[in-house]
Amino acid sequence: MHENAIRVGVDIGGTFTDIALQHPGGLSTCKVLTNYSQPEQAILDGVAQAADRAGIGLGDIGQVIHGTTLVTNALIERRGAKTAFITTEGFRDVIEMRSENRFEQYDLNLNLPVPLVPREHRFTLNERMGPNGEVLLAQDAAELATIVERVREGGFEAVAVGLMHAYANDAHEVAVGEALRAALPDLSISLSSVISPQMRELPRFNTVIANAYVQPQVADYLGRLVARLRDTGVMAPVFMLHSGGGLIAVETAAEQPVRLLESGPAGGAIFAADFARAHGLDKVLSFDMGGTTAKICLIEDGAPKTANTFEVARTYRFKKGSGMTVSTPVVEMVEIGAGGGSIASIDSMGRLQVGPRSAASEPGPACYGRGGAEPTVTDANLLLGRLDPDNFAGGSIKLHPENAAQAADKLNLTAHDAAFGITELVDENMANAARVHTVENGRDIEHFTMIAFGGGAPLHACRLCEKLGISALIIPPGAGVGSAIGFLKAPFSFEATRGLFQRLDAFNADTVNAALAEMEAEARAFVAKGAPEAETRLQLTAQMRYSGQGWEIPVSLPHKVFAAEDVAMIQSAFEEAYRTLFGRIIEGLPMEITNWQVSVSTILPEAARVARHGSGTDAAVARNRNFFDAALRQDVEAREVNRADMTPGLAVDGPAIIVETETSTVVTSGYRAVAQGDGSMLLLAKKGAL
């Protein structure tokens, strides 16, 4: 891709479809309502609007980059294909038995998530691989033929195949796939050895089933999208943002849609990562807060932190363990049930609680005057003077403080105490989640810079920084369509994974080199589909642990042909990673490798560095208005400035409120905001404020 190409990013979310069009004249963005029955229609409308605004023809667009929550929604709403699962005899119920635990310790009336494929649609074969890929029980062709017949009779649209230890030897799965394809050429077939060839049957089976379940629908949708874009004159190739934060060809996405589960939110993390690089920040915490949820992600050395498993479709909102663990490369994000619409209530002990229940956009917070009667975070912000009732969303929505006060009355506190309690508790919940996440990753949050975006974040970010001891905060421009902009900043990338279990003291370099070479070829082939000429880089990760431990930590290793004597190097890389996470190593224990990951990605163009304006000169104050400063526990007189007037180098001392059409940035008494060259606001803690 060359720098001047016209590219468009398209993010289909639950409520809005966001468009960001990058063209020689700059960036043109727009938001249209998501169309559930024909999602591609909203894209066509939005792209046409944005192109019109930018004054370019649809035929001039060079690339379409798309991300969406549609795949996740199909899983959550159970709108997938009629799917069968074929597995090893004795393991029919892996996906139903899960981890055999309860995610809510004190709830006697717990409901466990219902498996995607009901038991009567799960078929078994008498066959068995051993852990090292050795055949313990050979397949029986006649039995396989019977199963194929049952799939035909059952009228299934999709089949997932997950056999024990298939990551170590895929021969049986391949045979099942061939038999199905030969008999039922139109059937969608997903093999676990292709979709997620990693050790551990539960996540591997979940992953291949999720893939099969959404595949026909996603393939159908993407096919329609490409065709209709062509019809309207957009001849550009379409690429998809995958959950790991990179781009893949639309054909790859149609085959492996499970890679798209987190593609929308990943865009937000890439958006923040782009600002991190431009501002030369190597330790960043991104904070994205909308109407219902807040998301937190660690961004180090300009790249969002990734993981190889995550939980999708949680049945108890945000409760760890209540969803389905799938193993696919993903930008690691913590999601909290905290947003502008989060509802406050009083529990049995008379304690104030906020969220995770949300008033969402309908009816919305009480102060919208659209029938919402329960007090929300937005109502509290209004009561505390952080929102201006006459200038919300650029004045398009009139807020009603009297409704907010009436709703707050339900909490049996004074309106002021209720409002303070609600905002402080929601900030506390987010701060606690951020703190735990950084501790889990062995990091010290005080050394991070926060980058905050999404409608709600600028109101809360500064207080959050006070609670976390963070002294620098960036609020980028264009934060309302952050994910779509993020899509434009993503590299082409593909991560191949492989389960290959070895004790380090029995490290077999030849086996490892052979597997890595295959994985590299696989990853390169996928990247070449999108960017055949581009310069790439390869990242090699081994999942390692001390023998006897139950989970692995990712260890970055140099990309090379391994020899027996590299064991010492691998060991010290593991020990360094272990020490970073846990503060110490354990001498004398054997180590082992379980899974390998090879990630190939194109190299991003060097970000143009934004020169930092440090202290700045004071901006003109539009007027003064009061808001409640939580750290001081008192009302303060704040300077109100328009964000549009904050040209680079201008600054304002907190307490201040910087207003713009989409949101307002609250600068607490302890911070000073300085406008930067790229339109970002940089908030710095005043000396001694933290």
Report the site for other proteins in 473-512 (rule: CB under 8 A).
501
Query: Does the footprint of other proteins cover residue 80 (CB under 8 A)?
Result: no
Whether omega before 458 lies within 30 degrees of 0, making that bond cis, reads no
User: Which residues have CB under 8 Å from 553's CB, separation 6+?
Assistant: 543, 544, 545, 574, 577, 578, 581
45 lies in the site for other proteins, by CB under 8 A: no
Least distance from C-beta 207 to other proteins, angstroms?
14
Q: Does 136 bind other proteins (CB under 8 A)?
A: yes
C-beta closer to other proteins: residue 112 or 650: 112
Distance CA 335, CA 290 (A): 11
Q: For residues 396-425, which are near other proteins according to CB under 8 A?
A: 413, 417, 420-421, 424-425
The residue (of 435 and 613) whose beta carbon lies closer to other proteins is: 435
Q: Does 436 bind other proteins (CB under 8 A)?
A: yes
CB of residue 594 to other proteins, shortest distance in Å: 8
Asked if 551 is part of the footprint of other proteins (rule: CB under 8 A), the reply reads yes
- Which of 84-92, 145-153, 455-463, 651-659 is the region at the interface with other proteins (rule: CB under 8 A)? 84-92
Candidate segments 266-274, 429-437, 643-651, 664-672, binder of other proteins by CB under 8 A: 429-437
Q: Which is nearer to other proteins, 89 or 662 (CB)?
A: 89
| Residue number, 344 or 619, with CB nearest to other proteins | 344
Select the residue interacting with other proteins from 26, 55, 350, 688 (CB under 8 A): 350
Work out how close the CB of 503 gets to other proteins at its nearest, in angstroms, rounded to a whole number.
9
CB of 108 to other proteins, least distance (A): 5
Q: How far is CA 147 from CA 121, 127, 252, 579, in A?
A: 11, 13, 28, 50
- In the complex, the smallest distance separating the C-beta of residue 425 from other proteins, rounded to whole angstroms, is 6
- Where in 509-548 is the site for other proteins (CB under 8 A)? 546, 548
Return the half-sphere exposure (C-beta side, CA atoms, 13 A cut-off) of residue 540.
16
Q: How far apart are CA 190 and CA 156, in angstroms?
A: 13
Q: Is 120 in the site for other proteins (CB under 8 A)?
A: yes
Q: Is 114 in the site for other proteins (CB under 8 A)?
A: no
**Phi-psi bin for 451: left (phi > 0), alpha (psi -120 to 50), beta?**
beta
Q: Which of 53, 150, 200, 228 binds other proteins (CB under 8 A)?
A: 200
Give me the least distance between CB of 112 and other proteins, in Å please: 6
Q: Residue 631 in 3-state DSSP? A: coil
Could you tell me which of 595, 599, 604, 597 has the C-alpha nearest to residue 527? 599
Binders of other proteins among residues 455 to 474 (CB under 8 A) are: 467, 469
Return the residue of 118, 154, 394, 558 that touches other proteins, per CB under 8 A. 118
Q: C-beta of 306: minimal distance to other proteins in Å?
A: 19
**307 sits near other proteins (criterion: CB under 8 A):** no
What string marks each residue from 582 to 601 as x (binds other proteins by CB under 8 A) or -? xxx-xxxx----x-------
Nearest residue to 683 (alpha-carbon basis) of 651, 659, 636: 651
Q: Which of residues 436 and 561 has its CB atom nearest to other proteins in the complex?
A: 436
Residue in the block written with tokens 């999720």: 210
For residue 414, give the nearest of 454, 442, 384, 444 by alpha carbon: 384
- For other proteins, the closer CB: 37 or 109: 109
Closest contact distance (angstroms) between CB of 290 and other proteins is 22
* Choice between 131 and 389, CB closer to other proteins: 131
Backbone angles phi, psi at 322, to 5 degrees: -90, 0
Closest separation in Å from C-beta 469 to other proteins: 8
Q: Is the dihedral of CA 329, 332, 333, 334 positive or negative?
A: positive
Q: What is the DSSP string of 192-257?
A: HHHH---S-HHHHHHHHHHHHHHHHHHHHHHHHHHHHHHHTT--S-EEEE-TTS-EEEHHHHHH-G
377: Cα within 13 Å, side-chain hemisphere: 34
Under the binding rule (CB under 8 A), the answer on residue 135 touching other proteins is: no
User: Distance (Å, rounded) from C-alpha 495 to C-alpha 125?
Assistant: 31
> Residues 656 to 685: which contact other proteins by CB under 8 A?
none
Pick from 78, 82, 152, 351 the residue near other proteins by CB under 8 A: 351
119 binds other proteins (CB under 8 A): yes
138: contact with other proteins by CB under 8 A:
no
Is 440 a binding residue for other proteins by CB under 8 A? The answer is yes
Angle, helix 415-440 to helix 457-468, in steps of 10 degrees: 60
DSSP letters spanning 460-489 = HHHHHHHHHT--EEEE-TTGGGHHHHHHTT
Q: Between β-strands 623-629 and 634-642, what pairing exists: parallel, antiparallel or unpaired?
A: antiparallel
Q: Minimum distance between the CB of residue 242 and other proteins, rounded to whole angstroms?
A: 25
Q: Does 317 bind other proteins (CB under 8 A)?
A: no
CB 367 within 8 A of CB 401: yes
- Say whether residue 78 binds other proteins (CB under 8 A): no
Task: Name which of 132 and 624 has its Cβ closer to other proteins.
Answer: 132
| H helix runs in 387-476, sequence order | 401-409, 415-440, 457-468
User: Distance between CA atoms of 494 and 491, rounded to whole angstroms?
Assistant: 10
**For other proteins, which residue of 125, 272, 352, 674 counts as binding (CB under 8 A)?**
352
- Closest to 212 measured CA to CA, from 61, 317, 74: 74
Whether 447 and 437 have beta carbons less than 8 Å apart is answered as no
For 343-356, the three-class secondary structure string (H helix, E strand, C coil) is EEEECCCCCEEEEE
Peptide bond into 655 cis (omega under 30): yes
Would you count residue 107 as binding other proteins (CB under 8 A)? yes
Q: Quick one: which segment of 98-106, 230-238, 261-269, 601-609 binds other proteins (CB under 8 A)?
A: 98-106
Q: Which of 202, 509, 515, 607 binds other proteins (CB under 8 A)?
A: 202
Binders of other proteins in range 160-189 (CB under 8 A)? 164-165
- By CB under 8 A, name the one of 27, 41, 76, 92 that touches other proteins: 92
**Residues in binding contact with other proteins, number by CB under 8 A:** 71
- Number of H-type helices and E-type strands within the chain: 16, 36
We find the least distance from the C-beta atom of residue 388 to other proteins, in angstroms, to be: 25
Least CB distance from residue 284 to other proteins, whole Å?
Answer: 22
Cβ proximity to other proteins: between 348 and 617 the closer is 348
Q: Does residue number 311 form part of the binding site for other proteins (CB under 8 A)? A: no
Opening angle at CA 622, ends 618 and 627, nearest 5? 95
Closer residue to other proteins, CB minimum distance, 192 or 403: 192
Rank residues 136 and 603 by Cβ distance to other proteins and give the closer one. Answer: 136
Do strands 352-358 and 493-503 pair parallel, antiparallel, or not at all (unpaired)? Answer: unpaired
Q: How far apart are the first and last CA of the chain?
A: 45
Q: Does 373 bind other proteins (CB under 8 A)?
A: no
Report yes or no: 419 and 344 within 8 Å, Cβ to Cβ.
Answer: no
- The verdict on 554 binding other proteins (CB under 8 A) reads no
CB 528 to other proteins: min, Å: 32
Which of 333/479 has CB closer to other proteins?
Answer: 333
632 binds other proteins (CB under 8 A): yes
Told to check if 37 binds other proteins by CB under 8 A, we report: no
